[in-house]
């Protein structure tokens, strides 16, 4: 990984047991210089073998339990993170955890809609709300906007784009996912407007269509193809990006 200024002191990522979350953790640990603290959260740390292995290799990673739909779990991890980051606060929160349940118009049910909305939209808002005091602490006295100060990155999807619906007709097989990610983009817009005066930046980021359990084998990209791009985008974030919808190459996507 190329040498560049430290992205941030501390970063917390949700859903790191596998896929993009795990790739981001690996990528961050390999940057030079790396963050002082990479907080890799997952539902079941004992089963997250790759994360456990990384914890043995690197002194700046902590593997913490977080189920993003559990209030109890959010409260417990917040306490742990408060103790770890102290008065410096938390610089960067990546809301990555997500699920997909395929459902066409014929198949979609109230339950699948609500399940996806809970995990892919509501959880991101509640996790962000919980960590806000720590993000505010990190933002205090800082200048400019970005991951060096305080940033919230919601991992969205280009399938959330209302303008691309006609172009990406294949997504019509995934009504719940598509709609929940569009709502997540509204979370981004609201937070960006609300937290601007605190110096906290918020964006939505499409990570690329990637071969993961969710992305499937048909996806054109592998995790290692996109992580350097995502990290470059994170490093480049500044005031003008607040409230934007970017892809892994830094291109602006239409809402």
Ligand X SMILES: NC(=O)c1ccc[n+]([C@@H]2O[C@H](COP(=O)([O-])OP(=O)(O)OC[C@H]3O[C@@H](n4cnc5c(N)ncnc54)[C@H](OP(=O)(O)O)[C@@H]3O)[C@@H](O)[C@H]2O)c1
Tally the C-alpha atoms within 13 A of residue 98's C-alpha that lie toward its C-beta: 29
Instruction: Kindly indicate which of the ranges 30-38, 60-68, 126-134, 142-150 contains the residues binding ligand X, using the contact rule CB under 6 A.
Output: 60-68
Residue 225 neighbours by CB distance under 10 Å: 14
* Residue placing its CB nearer to ligand X in the complex, 18 or 136: 18
Instruction: Kindly indicate which of the ranges 93-101, 168-176, 187-195, 229-237 contains the residues binding ligand X, using the contact rule CB under 6 A.
Output: 93-101
Among 43, 62, 137, 148, binds ligand X (CB under 6 A): 43
* Residue placing its CB nearer to ligand X in the complex, 73 or 232: 73
The nearest distance, CB 85 to ligand X, in angstroms, is 20
- Where does residue 229 rank: exposed (0-12), middle (13-18), buried (19+ CB within 10 A)? middle
How would DSSP label each residue in 176-229?
HHHHHHHHHHHHHHHHHHHHGGGT-EEEEEE--SB-STTT-TT-SB-HHHHHHH
Instruction: Kindly indicate which of the ranges 63-71, 126-134, 233-241, 242-250 contains the residues binding ligand X, using the contact rule CB under 6 A.
Output: 63-71
The nearest distance, CB 177 to ligand X, in angstroms, is 7
Under rule CB under 6 A, residue 210 binds ligand X: yes
Under rule CB under 6 A, residue 202 binds ligand X: no
Under rule CB under 6 A, residue 67 binds ligand X: yes
Contacts of 37 (CB under 8 A, 6+ apart): 9, 10, 11, 60, 62, 84, 85
Under rule CB under 6 A, residue 46 binds ligand X: no
* Residue placing its CB nearer to ligand X in the complex, 160 or 192: 160
* Residue placing its CB nearer to ligand X in the complex, 15 or 146: 15
Q: Are 14 and 97 in contact (CB under 8 A)?
A: yes
> In sequence order, which ranges of the chain are alpha helices (DSSP H)?
19-30, 49-57, 71-85, 110-117, 123-139, 175-195, 223-236
Q: Are 135 and 82 in contact (CB under 8 A)?
A: no
User: Where does this chain bind ligand X (CB under 6 A)?
Assistant: 14-15, 17-21, 42-44, 66-69, 96-99, 119, 155, 157, 206-207, 209-210, 212-215, 219
């Amino acid at each position: 990984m190329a040498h560049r200024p430290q992205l941030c002191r501390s970063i917390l990522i949700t859903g790191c047991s596998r896929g993009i979350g795990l790739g981001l953790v690996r990528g961050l640990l390999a940057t030079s210089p790396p963050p002082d603290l990479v907080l890799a959260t997952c539902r079941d740390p004992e089963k997250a073998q790759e994360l456990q292995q990384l914890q043995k290799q690197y002194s700046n990673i902590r593997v913490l339990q977080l189920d993003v739909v559990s209030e109890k779990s959010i409260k417990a991890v917040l306490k742990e993170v408060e103790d770890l980051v102290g008065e410096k606060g938390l610089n960067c929160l990546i809301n990555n955890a997500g699920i997909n349940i395929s459902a066409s118009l014929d198949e979609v049910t109230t339950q699948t809609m609500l399940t996806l909305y809970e995990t892919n939209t509501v959880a991101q808002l509640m996790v962000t709300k919980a960590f806000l005091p720590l993000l505010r602490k990190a933002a205090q006295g800082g200048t400019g906007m970005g991951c060096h100060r305080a940033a919230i990155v919601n991992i969205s999807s280009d399938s959330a784009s209302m303008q691309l619906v006609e172009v990406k007709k294949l997504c019509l097989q995934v009504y719940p996912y598509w709609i929940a990610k569009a709502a997540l983009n509204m979370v981004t817009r609201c937070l960006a407007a609300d937290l601007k005066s605190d110096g906290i930046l918020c964006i939505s980021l499409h990570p690329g269509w990637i071969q993961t359990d969710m992305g499937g084998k048909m996806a054109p990209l592998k995790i290692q193809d996109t992580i350097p791009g995502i990290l470059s985008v994170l490093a480049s974030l500044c005031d003008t990006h607040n409230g934007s919808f970017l892809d892994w190459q830094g291109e602006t996507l239409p809402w």
